Amino acid sequence: MEFDRPDGAAEALRAGAFLLRMPDDLDPAPGLDLCRRFYLPPVPGDRYRGHREHGHPASKLGYEDRPDQVEQLQIEAHLWQRYFPEEVTSLLERMEEITGTALHALLSAAGVPAGDADEALGGHHGGLCYTTVNHYRGDLDRRVGIVEHTDSGYITLFHADQPGFEVLDNGRWTPIELPERHFVVNLGDAFDVLTRHLPHPGTAVLHRVAAAGPGQPDRSSFTIYMGPSYGMVLRQYTSDGELVDYQSFRDFSVAKAARMGYQFHDRI
Ligand SMILES: [Fe+2]
């Protein structure tokens, strides 16, 4: 991963969000197709449609109609092949690789010693990777597309087909322009906790999606999320560079939900 500016990595860590150009041979179209069709009634043989009704019995996540404009489908990486068309799975697997590369580059830029990253990320306990497929319904009269929040994991990468994404930067809500053929990368709570006392800490960026007005086309976005699993303990570097246990990710998530005023649903 290369930044356009010499201070790019430091700025990305400080802001907790940045744009990443797609590789030239990557085609995001199957992902956008899924965003535009997953909620349509099922048609036999069409694996893009029918996900509202599907149930996804092997998944602990699945379909959710949220109280804001978005309805979404969340599926763990090991189930993509089972539930999605082949070209969607290939695209998501490619994006998972890119997300992992970006995560390791950012850990290194934050000051995580070379060779330490796997242990810092929880080692053999493994983490959690899933996609979220979002349909923002412009015709729903709701206050926001998606309410302000920080992501809980280490990193989230997404592609969207139109603007609406906003981050809180230096105390101001800032709309982010989405140039053609770019991903947005966000840092989440687990990265923030891990690197808080390192030379270049990463910020869990507060972000939201503005509501689309009536008559505007529906917005589509799809993401790759990487974080700890709920059975894992969040780790943190001390200012002396020692890697210690911080708090169980489950306890952290319960406390965060209480702070933000929502109920923690332990689905994973
Ligand atoms: Fe988010």
> Has residue 165 got a pLDDT over 90?
yes
Residue 234 Cα to ligand 1 midpoint, Å, equals: 19
**Contact predicate 103/190, CB 8 Å:** no
pLDDT of residue 124: 63
Residue 132 Cα to ligand 1 midpoint, Å, equals: 10
The CATH class that applies to domain 29-260 reads mainly beta
> Has residue 139 got a pLDDT over 90?
no
pLDDT digit string, tens, across residues 16-29: 999 999 999 999 99
Helices (H), the chain: 8-15, 29-37, 51-54, 80-83, 86-110, 117-120, 189-195, 249-260
Q: At what angle do helices 86-110 and 8-15 cross, to 10 degrees?
A: 100
> Has residue 108 got a pLDDT over 80?
yes
Residue 160 Cα to ligand 1 midpoint, Å, equals: 13
pLDDT of residue 258: 87
Which residues are close to ligand 1, an ion, with C-beta < 5 A? 151
Average pLDDT of the residues in 29-34: 98
CB neighbours of 19 closer than 8 A, spacing ≥ 6?
Answer: 176, 178, 179, 182, 183, 184, 185
pLDDT of residue 231: 87
Residue 151 Cα to ligand 1 midpoint, Å, equals: 5
Average pLDDT of the residues in 11-18: 97
Residue 45 Cα to ligand 1 midpoint, Å, equals: 32
Output the average pLDDT for the chain.
Answer: 93
Map tokens 């994973």 to a residue: 268
Residue 7 Cα to ligand 1 midpoint, Å, equals: 25
Map tokens 């993401």 to a residue: 223
pLDDT-derived band at 257, boundaries 50, 70, 90: confident
pLDDT-derived band at 267, boundaries 50, 70, 90: low
pLDDT-derived band at 216, boundaries 50, 70, 90: confident
DSSP string for residues in 192-253: HHHHTTSSSPPP---EEEEPPPTTSPPEEEEEEEEEE-TTSEEEEE-TTS-EEEEEEHHHHH
> Has residue 265 got a pLDDT over 80?
no
CB neighbours of 244 closer than 8 A, spacing ≥ 6?
Answer: 235, 236, 237, 238
Map tokens 């796997």 to a residue: 118
> Has residue 268 got a pLDDT over 60?
no
Residue 143 Cα to ligand 1 midpoint, Å, equals: 17
**Contact predicate 154/191, CB 8 Å:** yes
Q: Specify the 3-state DSSP secondary structure of 52.
A: helix
Residue 225 Cα to ligand 1 midpoint, Å, equals: 9
Residue 46 Cα to ligand 1 midpoint, Å, equals: 29
pLDDT of residue 10: 95
Q: Specify the 3-state DSSP secondary structure of 118.
A: helix
Q: Are strands 243-248 and 127-136 parallel, antiparallel or unpaired?
A: unpaired
| Dihedral (CA of 240, 227, 183, 86) sign | positive
Residue 149 Cα to ligand 1 midpoint, Å, equals: 6
